[in-house]
Structure 1
Amino acid sequence: MKKSVIICVDDERIILESLRNEIRTIFKGMLQIEIAESGEEAIELIKEFKSKKIDVPIIISDYIMPNMTGDIFLIEAMKLLPDSKRIMLTGQASNEGVGNAMINARLYRFLTKPWDSNDLELTLTEAFKSYYKEKSIVIQESKLEELNRILNLKLEERTSELNDSNEKLKSVLDNTLKGLLLILINFISNSDTRIAERIKRINELGTQVCKIFYPDLKWQFEIANILSHINIINFNKELIESYLSGKELTQLEINSIRNRMASSSELLINLKFLEDITDGIRNMFFSFNLIDSVSITSTSNTLSRLLKILNEYDDILVKGISKQEAFNELEAMYHLKEVDLLDLIKSLELKTHITKSNFKSININEIKVGMILFADLLDNSNVVVIEKNGEIDIQSLTYISKLISKNRIKGPIFIKTNK
């Protein structure tokens, strides 16, 4: 593996040797230290390392040098290696020269001669850390951009081949998205294993819920669950570490993380056929009664509700409390809202009596007098039309028929198979 390089520039050889020896001690020989006695010589070194794709995290330059002063050299160095940290080290620099370097070379630090060893060590170690932290973020963002590009490209390639057949459309999208899921999972696993573990926990429970209540929502939930976590990979490492460990956070800190997760929806903006996932992620931490039912579909509303509950459940669970205690806290938080969804998730987690044999799903136009609702019947605005355990009578069936005619209920409806 190629060593990173620090370049030191000074027209006095004895100073260069002294500086090189001290830097070697600071970095314990882990870096290659190159010296140059003029700006022109240093420029050639920079070009050489750039052509070989060798990192140059730090460039240190004297100010007073023949032919090319330090500020002019650092400006030229910035043009070639804009990400390097540039440090001016001199005892004779003019205010004008330092100002020129600060503004036009984005000078990282100015140190006077003779330098203080502790100050030099602190400056160089901080510059080194800053360089690689910024580089890591750029690499991760580049990977995200590449994932987004692949997502756009694959979907455009597939959708351009489609005819009007809905079955063919679904088949092509399913195959494409399964491949993308693998790409995304591998990317996140390589970036942060704890986030990957959280995604896995939420996914396992969420897909079980979808299989029972929302079978057509399963693939959308999987995509939404993964994408909603991508934007927190490079977001304030210490804060995310505390969040994933269940440590106590302020509401402001929690909101900043949730806003970051919801902003992952921007990765899917303008992608055809994925609008429900985009809206589902964007609205996942909104209060359900504040969601504008006109602007989002029933599918995205359901997706948001499921993402919200499962993320909040995992937030509570990582504090180290039992599943039963976690549900007690959730139920207190929701205060009689989302009772059916919470009951189902609770039954799956605690292995209680509610199973699919207790109910079945039917299309909205199959509802008949005498049926007993297993779950609340909601309209597209998430308003309860008939509460669970309610029996369908002629009056309620007439009202439901009116809502169906106005496309305000889409189903499915869950009814009990035994009273």
Structure 2
Amino acid sequence: MKKTSLNQILFVLFSLLSGYFFLQMLVSPPLQMPLYSAALALLIAAGVLVSLRVFAGWRRLVAVPLFLPGFIIGYLVGTVLFLQPLPHTPPPVVELPANKAGAGFTAVVYFTHGEPPTYEKAIPAWKHTIQELDEDGVPFIPYPLRPFFFNAIRGEFVKAGGSHHNAIHSRTMLKLEQMMSSVHPDLRFYLSFIDDHPHPDEAAAQAVRDGAAKIILANVFLTESSHTQEGEEMVAGLNLEQLGIPVCITYPLWNSDHLIDMFVQQSEQVRRNIPREKVGILLVAHGQAPESDAIYPKQTKQETDFRLAIRSRLVEQGYLAQNVSLAWMEYREPTPQDGLRSLLEQNVELVLVYSSSISAEGIHSTYEIPEMLSEVELPAGVRLINLGAWNDHPLVLQALAERIEACLNP
């Protein structure tokens, strides 16, 4: 092979690999990113050196335009490989225990959203979300630009120091189990997530293997949504009723008096000696795309009705209706920034911010919403306190216990 031909092949190869390594630099875990950055820099340098051999004189001016097609192809191939759809996981095998001694307890499958603690563990969860949006026909970032979305998510995880979402739910479940065990000693709790393992069907199958005679799927969600539907379908796929194991599904919490009261109680505790008429409260719902309303018609209405109920309860306590602002984190308006600006126009002295739809602190409540609100300059003397998600507040435990009691005493 001629030396010129070999240099041309190397030039094309370096351009392809540069695009691929650029993709990996965008989406790789934080500790791997510097390695891909260094490799990308070396490949580009090697491409420049080879181009000096392939092209002479003025022809070197076309080296960069010729390098770009290979770079783009390498990037797109890497994007396709990275965004491969998640394989369908068959439901777990349900095995009845061979020895039923001591069996017959009721298993509560504590079912919630889930957010893995690190970016690399969250990658499958985000792929699952994007796949779900695509299947539902909801517009999202154009396919070739999606690696930049993952790059932004990685940055949020790094800046937020990871997510404690799952750990908080684990703590909440343990407190709930302790609270209910004094009255119902035959209850056993199993943690499950839609966006992490174990999934609700995996938790339910494990409960059956342990000897459960009844399953309660406890929805730790605010609304009826794609998440609750998917979890219910997972458990339904186990066909437990055919094995003589009844399944009861609890109702989401949007109309729970206990949960609504939590916002009033927290506001009262935090405002201290500031008059109620000088307190602004920003209730930030999650929001879903308008295109999803036709598929999951209850989520938007229930998020809205929930916040209106909180506002009414706050007004009963002496807060001003115009000082309770409703905003949406995604897809809808007003935005959190708009909601905060409207409160500042009321000359409040204190603004309390709630991620009203989020069950436990995560990237949304600890990083994204505060980042949005940081765009709004606060007047001198005005304080803003981010009270975040529900977490393991005692009234959250009571709300969940009430729903589970409805399954225990139908």
Which of the five TM-score ranges fits, normalised by the shorter chain?
under 0.3
Report the TM-score, using the length of structure 1 for normalisation: 0.22
Higher Cα Rg, which structure: 1
TM (norm. structure 2) is 0.22
Which structure is higher in helix share?
Answer: 1
RCO (CA 8 Å, sep 6+): is it higher in 1 or 2? 2
